[in-house]
Amino acid sequence: MPRADVNGIGIHYDDHGQGYPLIWSHEFAGDHRSWETQVRFFARRYRVITYNARGYPPSDVPTELDAYTQEQSVSDLRGLMEYLGIEKAHVGGLSMGGAIALNFGLTHPEMARSLVVAGAGSGSVDPEVFRERVTFMAERLREGGMAAMDDYTNGPARVQLLRKDPKGYAEFRAQFLEHSNIGSANTFAGVQGRRPPIFDLEDRLRELTVPTLIMTGDEDDPCIEPSIFMKRMIPNSGLVVIPQSGHPINLEEPDLFNRSVLDFLTAVESDSWATRDHGREAGSLV
């Protein structure tokens, strides 16, 4: 089982294929297995790396809450790349992983050839309510284990996966319930509960020069407005909205997700991914 020594803890990772590195960071409810359809597709052309964040076995599970922050997650990703001898990579993620990918690009732009930011921005619209809910769920996890979160996968932005792919949904749910309740609680409270809303990053987003693909499902209500905001702020970004889709769009619509990302990577690698011209004021006539 491959493990990297990163920032004093063991990080589990998988490494498949050859070519330019493409790294995927998972969402809160997922782990490295969530990227299976992406690994099978992209490993034909790329060196595809997936990993489990700290708190997600078989990666180590620190028990201290202060060991979990979004900044630490970004540092872990950088440490994993350094461990693997990767100087620069395409970096992508979903939800929590999408926020990690975005902040990795903001913090270490020299190490990111491109960014795929999918399903990111939950909690940005009403951050105080979001933090209260995250704190409540973290306590549920500590006291009742993963079984206390059995209803988490039935939310309004996840029922789409059940409708489209019942077997895939059952696998996703079973994998979620295998997670560490302590690692998940600390991730909830430390990473998601303390990260800044996307809207607070305006100045930094305007300065981001890494080519960025933003993706969201049109039924993933918490992420739609942040996704549009990122598209407006990041000069060389593109936005893909996947119809009748919720939060885990890489699982719901793997073919559309993969093809959209492949088109993006191809454009970046051929230097044809454009930077938006903001010379005209918004709303002006063409």
Residue 274 in domain: no
Q: What is the pTM of this model?
A: 0.96
Peptide bond into 235 cis (omega under 30): no
CATH number of domain containing 41: 3.40.50.1820
Task: Note the pLDDT of residue 1.
Answer: 76
Residue 283 in domain: no
Residue 194 in domain: yes
Residue 284 in domain: no
Distance CA 112, CA 135 (A): 32
Beta strand segments in the chain, E: 3-6, 9-16, 21-25, 47-51, 89-94, 112-118, 212-217, 237-242
Residues 81-139: tens digit of each pLDDT: 999 999 999 999 999 999 999 999 999 999 999 999 999 999 999 999 999 999 999 99
Provide the number of structural domains found in the chain. Answer: 1
Residue range(s) defining the domain that contains residue 145 = 3-269
Question: Do residues 157 and 224 touch, judged by C-beta distance below 8 A?
Answer: no
Residue 67 in domain: yes
Question: Do residues 194 and 154 touch, judged by C-beta distance below 8 A?
Answer: no
Residue 61 in domain: yes
Residue 88 in domain: yes
Residues 157-193: tens digit of each pLDDT: 999 999 999 999 999 999 999 999 999 999 999 999 9
Residue 253 in domain: yes
